[in-house]
Every structure is written in C-alpha cells, then in structure tokens.
Structure 1
C-alpha cells in the first residue's frame, strides 16, 4: 500500500497564498515570493475562500481574528472563530474550516518549533508556550486593549519580515516569543473566568473526544468507547448530547469522515487503499459511508 500523504509545509502554504491572494487586498504579510525561510512566514487569510479542505501541516500557526467568523476544526475540537480572538493550530492535528464570512480578516504567523529553538530558546521553554491547556479548544477571547497591542505586534512582525533589515531573524524570534506569551496570557485569562472545568460531565466528554481522536481507526461503536471510560453507553450518549448537541456515534463518524476527506485530497491513495486504512470491510461500504456525509461518493469528491 502506498504511504504518500501530503503534509503542507511553509513554502507550499506561502506559494499557495501568493497564487490565490489579491496583492492589493492588504499590506499585511508576505506579498511576493522573496521570502526564503522554510521555518517562518507571515500571512493574511485568502479572501473569498468560504471553506478549506482538511490539511495537516508541519508547522504551528498563531492566528488573530480581527473581523468576521468561520467554523474551525482542529483535531477533536470544533469551534467558532470570532472577532477579537486568537487561536493556535498545531501540526499534531488535521485542521479545516468552513462557513467563512465575506468580511473574515485574519493575521497569521506560521512557524516551526525549530525557528525558536535554533540558538535562541531552550526546547522545554518553547514546549511550555505551545502546550496550552489541552482540555479546551485552543481559542481565546481578547479584551479590546489586548487586541490593539496584538494587532500592532503582528504588524511589526509583518513589517520586519518585509524589510529584512539587519538582525531581522533575531528580532522576529523575539517578537514571536512575545506573541506566544501574549497568547498564553489570554489562555490563562479565559480559564480564570471559566467554570466548565468544574463539570465532571465536561471532563468525561473531553476524554471521549480525545479517545475518538486517538482510536477512531479501531474503535467504531459507542459501546466500545463507553467500556474504555468505564461508563454505560446510555450515559455516554446522554452527556455527549448535553455537552455538544451531537449524537455520540456522529462524533465518531465525523472523525472518520474528516480523515477520509484528508486522505482523498492529500494523498495518492486509491479509494480501496483508503477504505483499508480506515478499516472498512470493503470500498463499497466506505463509499456508502462517505456519501451519507458528503452527498456524493469518494470518486466525485476527488474530482471537485
């Protein structure tokens, strides 16, 4: 079986952005192909895109939303991106977005961990900055004062990237470190004002969704996950419905569907190979499953 699956790197993300973006849209970010770092870049969002197929990257993104909204999926988290918020995308997870509003405005800094650990920060310090609370969606609301200062910080990073003056990489590392500390400050503030972590029900649903992320290829039923959590399938169904509004089986199937979309769009695998990778009995069973979600079969999806 072929194992060739595309993982998006920073040069590819930059080239795709330059090809799709209107260069007159914004003065923020890299405007041309003159940037040659493969471990750091600054981008705005691509205007006019209402959705993005699932991708996996080899870099982190710290994204400031200044206007508009979209629905974001990062691993087992699904959340709304809203104005005056900042969120983190990790290379550990598949990510996608949909329902982007016409007025969506994002500032994005893309970087590999090595950009900061190369003769600059110790790896354990960077790990601590990037390992924000794993129990919550990685998005944090910002007070207006913080939005103003963070917007200025992003724009300073953008200007430094464009001008490439003396010591620009060292300065970019300092500015990025500042950005990560500000994101962690926003995370701490959100947790301080949240009561959700007190709920045992929320904690159980989080454990369920984390299990789905880790074991969706092998565990297929609500009962199997309930057994892992030492609760009844009925109780698991009830608490998932209460917390998320979704059926527990839908959460399991949705994770499989996300993986199927990713493999169909980012790999050279055949439909039969994808069906095998997802542990379906055969490609016909997989095609029926996929069509229930997408409204069309995997072959038609590949042709979109």
Structure 2
C-alpha cells in the first residue's frame, strides 16, 4: 500500500483513470449504431485491451485519439491500438462499422499485411490514426465489409479462416492508402529487437525507467540497444521510455480528476518533485500548466 510521506495516510486512487474495456472475442464486427446502443463505448474517452478499426461509411464527426482531434467524414478509417485513449463523436447521420480484434487473431495472419497494421497501429512505431479512402478503395472496402458482416453473423464451416482471409485483404487495401505503404517491411534482427523493446516498454514502463533495465531483459548492452532503436525509429531507447511515461501522465491529467501526487505514484515515482521535474524536462511544460490546458477536447467551444 502506498502512503503519503508527510501524513502517513494511504494514498487513495478512488478514480483509477481510464480503465481498460475488455473483449474476449478474437474478432468482432458490428455497426457503429449497435456499438452505441449495446456497449455505449463512445459516451466518453476510453481505451481497450484490443485493436479497433472504425469504418465511417456515412456522416461526419470528430475522432479523438489520445490528445489529438481529427475531423472525420464519410469513407474515413480510424485506428486505435490497445491502450490508446479514443472516442468517436459522430452526428446523428453517422453510419459505419467497428472491427475489434486481439493479438491472437492478428498473429493468425503473419504476413506483410499483419505486420503493416501491427507497426502502424502501435503508438511506438507510428502516429497513424486516421485515413481517408479514395473512391476506388472505398468501393472495395465496402464490398469486403459486407462480406465480413455476413460471415460473422453466421457460423458456417471454416468461419474464422474466411474472416481472416477477408481481413488480410482489408489490411492490404489500407496499406495502399498509407504514405509509407511503398516501403517494404524489412524483417531483420534489428527490427525484431526493436519490436521486442517496445513490447517491454508497453508492459513495464511503470516499473522500468532506465535503458540498462531494458537492455538486461533483451540480453544486449545499453549502448547497443540505444544504437539499434535509434537506427530503426529515429530516436534512442531512452526517448521512447520517457515519452511513454509522459503520455500516460497526460492521459491521466486530461481524462481524470487525479492529482499530480496520485499520478506520480501510479506511474512509479516515489518523489513528487522528481516526477514534476521529469515531466517538464520531457514535455517542455510544467505538469500544472498542462493540467490547466488539458480539458476534454469535445467540450471545447
């Protein structure tokens, strides 16, 4: 139990910010309207333990992902990775589909399309969140979605295999819309090491804050890890560790009423002064200033 250093009283976390919404199905496709009525998932910013693709077929609105807002319209695809805080604020006429799937389903298709989504849906590899499809791609995607809905709603022989086949094709179409889709996915040892590094960061950023600790988990030297991560991602390992911690701090500051002390403790900092200095050095502004500016994006005038 964590206690306040001055009073000795337990630090309460009555509002654990942004809890994870769970889904045990490996794959699911529903209409936006069905998700609104049955899951009520877009009433406030939220996050999942699974991937989500939202296909807006008709209407317009706003899509929030972490601390960014994106205007969306018809034929827009929105993508959220596990842990990303997001919310779709659509109008009354907004129609489309929500595709949810977990890592187990994604790993069934270990090809370039699966690798594309894994790298671009992950906030560690890319900031890809929203893409507007061209007319030709829209026709193909719409056709695929209808086939997926029909297959999902029935329980025919080899249902999972057929859904996976349609899903692979969908990812390929989305890859063609990506600015970087012409770049070949190079599955080298370096890329594999970096992917394992980001996986550990995502799972251990609260308890592990030094490059040396991650290097030990990966059985490499800290200098080598920094060098390879920088070569693949453009930034050293330390940068990504710090950014992940600050991202979570910003999420809690923006989407909960937690105090700086509570957030600091939740993120593994015993010294609130240390956390305050760390936050300012990494983000470029004080926690207090960020908290004052951080309001729910959809409530802004």
1:267 to 235, 241, 256: 256
Question: In the TM superposition, what are the counterparts of 1:76-95 in structure 2 within 5 Å?
Answer: 88-90=79-81, 92-95=82-85
Q: Cα deviations across residues 16-64 of structure 1 (Å, max 9, x unaligned)?
A: xxxxxxxxxxxx976xxxx6332688xxxxxxxxxxxx85247753135
Q: TM (normalized to structure 2)?
A: 0.56
Give the total of aligned pairs.
Answer: 227
C-alpha displacement of 1:281:
3.1
Q: TM (normalized to structure 1)?
A: 0.56
> Partners of 1:228 and 1:171 in 2: how far apart?
45
> Partners of 2:96 and 2:214 in 1: how far apart?
36
Give the aligned partner of residue 291 of structure 1. Answer: 280
C-alpha displacement of 1:143:
9.4
Over the aligned positions, Cα root-mean-square deviation in angstroms equals 5.0
Question: In the TM superposition, what are the counterparts of 1:1-304 in structure 2 within 5 Å?
Answer: 1-4=12-15, 5-7=17-19, 36-38=37-39, 55-57=46-48, 61-64=52-55, 88-90=79-81, 92-95=82-85, 109-110=97-98, 132-133=114-115, 136-138=119-121, 145-151=136-142, 174=153, 182-187=166-171, 194-197=184-187, 199-304=188-293
> Partners of 2:46 and 2:281 in 1: how far apart?
22
Q: Which runs of 5+ in 2 are unaligned?
A: 1-11, 22-30, 58-63, 67-74, 88-93, 122-127, 155-159, 176-180, 294-301
Which of the pair has the greater relative contact order for Cα pairs under 8 Å at 6+ separation? 1
Q: Which runs of 5+ in 1 are unaligned?
A: 10-27, 42-53, 67-71, 75-83, 98-105, 114-123, 158-169
> Partners of 2:219 and 2:230 in 1: how far apart?
18
C-alpha displacement of 1:145:
4.7
Worse overlay, 274-283 or 207-216: 274-283
Asked if the contact 1:257–1:290 (Cα under 8 Å) also holds between the matched residues in 2, the reply is yes
